[in-house]
Structure 1
Amino acid sequence: MKKALFALALGGLTIGITEFVVMGLLPDIASDTGVSIPVAGYLISAYALGVVVGAPTLVILGRNQPPKKMLLIFSMMLAGFNALSIIAPNYEFLVVTRFLSGLPHGAFFGVGAVVASRLAEKGKEAQAVSIMFSGLTLANLAGVPIGTYIGHHLDWRYTFVLIAIVGLLTVLSVYAWMPKLESEGSGSMKTQLAFFTKADAWLIIAITAIGFGGLFAWISYIAPLLTDISKFSAESVPYILVLAGLGMVVGNLIGGRLADTLSPATTVLSLLIFLALDLTLVFLVSDNPYMSLVLVFLTGCISFAVVAPIQMLMIQTARGSEMIASAALQASFNIGNALGAFLGGLPLFAGYSYASPNLVGVAMALIGALVTLGLIVRRKRLVAQVV
């Protein structure tokens, strides 16, 4: 692996722990800050909102800067803003720090995805992008379970100490190993924003925001699902999350290879349908602890197999505006994060079980699949018209 890709993967590790560890710590944070678990779930939405705001804003502001400089700044923001959560005196302050921590998330991945594709061998661009996202999956395999364990047995604040340390390592690795690539910025905001005039771009944004939201309807409430429905002990949750992380690692690798060999759009369509079927099973059989363990792995696998194909689909659609498009995609992922956490919490507020958010996830995945089908049909019609 090129050292530059390793630096990007380390950034993905930082972001992955930051984004997903709170989901396993909701009971601990809720108890310590004096709020309910559904209210604590808004910390997930606050982070996602930060991503949505920061992804396009930071990329547009830095559009004429060298990629290395942009990535270095984003890495410093990741480390610094997460460190603020260590000293959060109350729930409200923690909401603010979660929002700030989300600001560099999409911008880092947006610029990083384009840099990874530029560093890759021809025909292996998606696999290079998947290496960057391997940090995100490794976070779920090891970082999140470790962070959750620390939060359960010591204090959730120490988990953010861990994140700040990994963030600092990201800063150092980007500084040491990232090559000084030239900026591809045009200097014109109008040119960059022209990306948003494309119908295909908005369809991909919708696919990501809605379809990928199915994952977050599941994972946002995975801790109480495992304890209340599957009847696992709270102490076993960090170990079970390792299965989710392992599934994400496997799925990410599969998705990268599929995107380089098959149509990205067809791959996304198929995977979203499988995700809907999978979440249906989660709703139906999570009271069986053995099936629950199998589905934890499978859900992580299917959901993260989508990441590389849809990333390449967006980059291919946005010739000349790749960074802003890639950043917008990351914002879309986190709109899905916010929607999944919020909509998944509604049946909980209504008094339904912790399995019920998965039905919300089924609906979101199916809507995403329908939009993907519409994109495929639209592109075939445009090709037919040209011929």
Structure 2
Amino acid sequence: MLERLTSVRPARPRRRPVPRQTDISPRRRWIVMIALAAGGFAIGTTEFVSMGLLPLIAQDFGVTEDRAGLIISAYALGVVVGAPTITALSGRMPRRRLLLLLMGAFFLGHLLAVFADSYPTLIVARIIAGLPHGAYFSVAGLSAASMSPPGKRGQAVAFIGMGLSVATVAGVPAAQALGQAFGWPAAYLLVAAIAVATVVALWFLMPHMSEMPPTSVRTELGALGRSQVWLTLALGAVGFGGMFAVYTYITWTMTERAGLDVSWMWLVLLAYGVGSVGGQWLGGVIADRNLEIGILFSLVMIGVVLVGFYFTSTNVVIGTINFGLIGFFGSSLTPTLQVRLMDVAGDAQTLAASLNHSALNLANAGGAALGGAVIAAGFGYAAPALAGAGLAVAAILVWFPTVYLRARSARTPS
């Protein structure tokens, strides 16, 4: 009798099975997309708040302005290296599991940044934090597109990118305020907390992406053999650089040139964030309506508002509004390029989509370096805007052969 009683063990609670993407309701799909966008919110906060914290970091570690700007380049380097490497090697991994691992690595990078006691350690932390960036946006965007109704791919991709844009409205100003009040590590601590919340949300909400078949390294690398993929990446790497040439040094521009008190910089960043949210929405709409013309429109307007910023950056109010327009038209370019890569990459969409973020972060690093070089040459804090406008013009020149070659290929019988 005693043996029978001791042999009876309480039943373990069974884990609720994770549903497939085809089994979830439209309401659950929207909740999942919000959770995915939360990861974009964390990434957007860290990517942009660092630029506003450069003076504090430079002062804390005793480095110059241009050397402090290397933390921007370090993060971008992590994105450029991590995006293609991770997506190419993880093609057979279930998308749900990959998203959880990516956001977990993002958290660890920020934890290291919080406790960085030297400038080289902070550089390493920023590289680690940047590694999951492109792969996360690639897998999250493709997952959203896979779950979206027909004809709504662009808007689904833009919704995930909206997390990054909303970060510039709420996350960046909040992190900037924390950094100003308690020191720059507080800003990275906030990002780490958002990353943990995202992991928890995805664990409970993300379905199995059963409609996204696994791919091999060879299949993903096939994207590199497509000329249209490279031309689309060139549009982003060149055309997006002007925005970062201005954004990286915006704190010095508005305080030294326009005379703004540094305590009001959060309002300048907020204006950019509001513009960025609207730009993401616009980019999703035009991607679903007329993709090629939408890309050209964004590039032209980026050039126009950058030239405008050169002349308006002496005035606090008008310069802030103009900076918001830079965010608006710059962000409208992101979803259009992402959808174009989906269209031209064939079966290698994951790698191609991640390469988009590599290209945009090359623009980040290149724009920051270009802006720093122009300032170091003595041309002043407004000059990066004109250099950035030149990059927009160069991207427009790339757009014409890109569209022509694709149209000619479509007319050529196979």
Q: What range is the shorter-chain TM-score in?
A: over 0.9
CA distance in 2, matches of 1:346, 1:293: 23
Verify the 8 A CA contact 1:38 1:348 in the aligned structure 2. Answer: no
Q: Structure 1: which amino acid aligns with 2:366?
A: L
Give, in angstroms, the shift of residue 186 of structure 1: 2.8
Aligned residue for 2:365? 338
Query: Which residue is equivalent to 2:4?
Result: none
Task: Give yes or no for the alignment of 1:373 onto 2:400.
Answer: yes
Conserved 8 A contact 2:255-2:262? yes
Q: In 1, are the aligned partners of 2:76 and 2:362 still within 8 Å (CA)?
A: yes
Q: Cα distance, 1:344 vs. partner?
A: 1.2
The equivalent residue for 2:340 is 313
> Residue by residue, what CA displacement relative to the aligned partner does 1:56-93 show, whole Å, maximum 9, x if unpaired?
11112211011001100001011111111011111111
Count of residue pairs brought into register by the alignment: 385
State the shift of 1:318 in Å: 1.1
Residues 250-265 of structure 1 aligned to structure 2 (within 5 Å): 250-262=278-290, 264-265=291-292
Q: What root-mean-square deviation, in Å, do the aligned CA atoms of Structure 1 and Structure 2 show?
A: 1.2
Matched residue of 1:71: which SS?
A: helix
SS of residue in 2 equivalent to 1:65 = coil
Return closer, same or farther for 1:385/1:61 CA change in 2, 3 Å cut-off. Answer: closer
What is the rounded CA distance, in whole Å, between the counterparts of 1:120 and 1:24 in structure 2?
36
Q: Is 1:71 paired with 2:99?
A: yes
Query: Residue deviations 1:303-341, cap 9 Å, x none?
Result: 001111111001111121111111111111111111011
1:199 matched to which residue of 2? 227
The one-letter code of the counterpart of 1:100 is I
Please say if residues 242 and 384 of structure 2, whose CA atoms lie closer than 8 Å, have aligned partners that are also in contact.
Answer: no
TM-score, L = length of structure 2: 0.91
Question: Is 2:81–2:131's contact at 8 Å kept on the other side of the alignment?
Answer: yes
Q: Which amino acid aligns with 1:337?
A: N
Q: Which digits, 9 at most, give the CA deviation of each residue in 1:237-287, with x for residues without a partner?
A: 01221110000001111111111111x122111111110111011112211
Report if aligned partners of 1:251, 1:304 keep a CA contact under 8 Å in 2. Answer: yes
| Deviation for aligned residue 1:194 | 1.1
Q: How does 1:74-113 map to 2 (within 5 A)?
A: 74-113=102-141
Aligned residues of 1:3 and 1:178 also touching (Cα < 8 A): no
- 2:383 and 2:297 map into 1 onto residues whose CA distance is 24
Task: Give the match for residue 137 of structure 1.
Answer: 165
- In structure 2, distance between residues paired with 1:243 and 1:193: 39
Aligned to 1:173: 201
Query: Aligned partners of 2:330, 2:127: CA distance in 1, in Å?
Result: 24
1:209 corresponds in structure 2 to 237
Structure (1 or 2) with the larger CA radius of gyration: 2
Q: AA paired with 2:179?
A: G
Provide the TM-score with structure 1 as the length reference: 0.97
Could you tell me which of 31, 34, 40 is aligned with 1:3?
31
> Does 1:293 find its partner at 2:320?
yes
CA distance in 2, matches of 1:185, 1:318: 16
**Shift of residue 153, structure 1, vs aligned partner:** 1.8
Runs of 4+ in 1 over 3 A off after TM superposition: 383-387
Structure 2: distance between partners of 1:311 and 1:36: 36
Identity %: 34
Secondary structure of 1:306's aligned partner: helix
